[in-house]
Amino acid sequence: MFLTSSGQARSGLLWALRHVRRASGAPARDPRFAALEDSDLQFFDSVLGAGGVVTDPHSLQPFNEDWLGKYKGSTRVALKPKTTEQAAAILRHCNSRRLAVGGNTGLVGGSVPVYDEVVVSTVCMNKVLSFDTVSGTLTAQAGCILEALDSHVAGHGYCMPLDLGAKGSCQIGGNVSTNAGGLRLLRYGSLHGSVLGLEAVLPGGEVLDLLTTLRKDNTGYDLKQLFIGAEGTLGLVTAVAIQCPPRPLAVNVAYLAVPTFAAAQQVLVAAKRQLGEVLSAFEFLDKESLAITLRHLPGTKDPLPGCQAPIFLVVETSGSSAAHDSDKLERFLEGVMEEGLVSDGVLAQDSAQVQQVWQLREGITTALRHRGAVYKYDVSLPISQMYALVEEMRTRLTTALPHLAGSSGGAGSGGGGGGDGSDDDGPPIRVAGYGHLGDVPGYSKEICEQIEPYVYEWTAQHRGSVSAEHGLGLMKAGCIGYSKPPAAVAVMRQIKAALDPHGIMNPYKVLPPEL
């Protein structure tokens, strides 16, 4: 079962198994950290002024609970700086007092305090600092909403290089801190390539100004990369310079039904070869995801009513010539249908239909949350193995928990009551095949024990990553060894110790506790 291609790979996995910490657990509060006092609140008031210090319990609730409702903290204060100088003063004070500091981004328990950490929110740092209409480089404060930035650059003929279902609420600083991928990573790559520079406040209050907009700068270590995906554990990102690509003039979206996941892989190969430079997105969802979304997300429509295919694809092209792109897409679709790789499909005829298709794909996570508790794992695997994990988990949960998992049956069918108590919503546990696992009315230790660490072991055995784009947070901090060898984790600890010697920045996250 274990990786045996080399002794190093096997030892790394065994190290991970010995040090795994499950999602349901959390390390004890670090005794090095001080407790918040009234004098601290007075200092924060003096720096931030009216509205900058939140202490009302009701107002703090969004900061103390993550979007999935899985993690809850107990912070007594959330701070809202408007400038980098204010943020620096906050961190300088917290570092001197040994007050732990948390952020507010992510879906793996990285976004909420574990205990009583001081939450620093960049929501008020929401100004566009500059935009170069010739080069397409955008510089903005970290609290700017992704959708607002996309609207801003759209007026100049550009678009943001990432697109997320949460674009109407997520902040660019959080996107950078978690290295968010999004729906168009296939076209524009990750933020490690799109981010040209950033500004970050280190734990001691020093401002690290790396806010360059140059594409070429080979002077020493590329320090900005340390903060992309670090989840706020090394410092607070306060501003970002990002390369924006030209906005496509022509967008086409096809929604396709395929008979197997193997066929979906062949369609992807054909799309890359035949659509080439205009291919901007290639997403898949299975019938479970479709059924749950149609039932639990108001306003969604089935693009192929009555189709019983097990797998569906969303293929998008974006280019500069509508006629050229449409011709390439039509020839591609004719080819894959003639080969029997696609059993049915529909091509969006206007922007409204394009939006309907994307609403269906982007709404899956929200629909799962409406149905019940979501066990979300966001793993990255070789494409050939991606859906095998879904099938493995269905078999495993049905065997171990037949009273909850039962038989999924067809789309929208199955034995047992649904998560909402209705008979036609399938069994309480359903494994949705777009990377998100199962839902029931509440989180259960019994279910979690059947999923973890099995899902991480399986991912490691197939040379995947336990986190594709959501980061490690609290949930997966103890599981980093499944994807990184001990030597790499040791180097990460050294970097953390060098930049944050007192460990105040987003503690208990990303790195496993030292034993």
Q: Is 77 helix (H, G, I), strand (E, B) or coil?
A: coil
Tally of CB atoms within 10 A around 109: 24
DSSP one-letter code for 28? P
What type of residue is 167?
K
450 or 7, higher pLDDT: 450
Residue 145, pLDDT score: 96
Residue 308, pLDDT score: 93
Per-position DSSP letters for 2-30, written without gaps between them: ---S-HHHHHHHHHHHHH---TT--PPPP
163 or 478, higher pLDDT: 163
Residue 280, pLDDT score: 93
Integer Cα distance of 239 and 173 in angstroms: 7
- The percentage of the chain sitting over the pLDDT mark of 90, rounded to a whole number, equals 57
Asked whether the beta carbons of 434 and 387 are under 8 A apart, the reply is no
Structure tokens at 344: 């049915």
pLDDT tens profile 252-290: 999 999 999 999 999 999 999 999 999 999 999 999 999
Integer Cα distance of 65 and 55 in angstroms: 15
425: confidence class by pLDDT, cuts 50, 70, 90: low
Tally of CB atoms within 10 A around 130: 11
Q: What is the mean pLDDT of the chain?
A: 83
211 or 462, higher pLDDT: 211
Contacts of 339 (CB under 8 A, 6+ apart): 266
Residue 268, pLDDT score: 93
pLDDT tens profile 283-337: 999 999 999 999 999 999 999 999 999 999 999 999 999 999 999 999 999 999 9
Residue 420, pLDDT score: 34
Pairing of strands 250-258, 311-319: antiparallel
What type of residue is 387?
Y
What type of residue is 496?
K
Residue 67, pLDDT score: 60
372: confidence class by pLDDT, cuts 50, 70, 90: confident
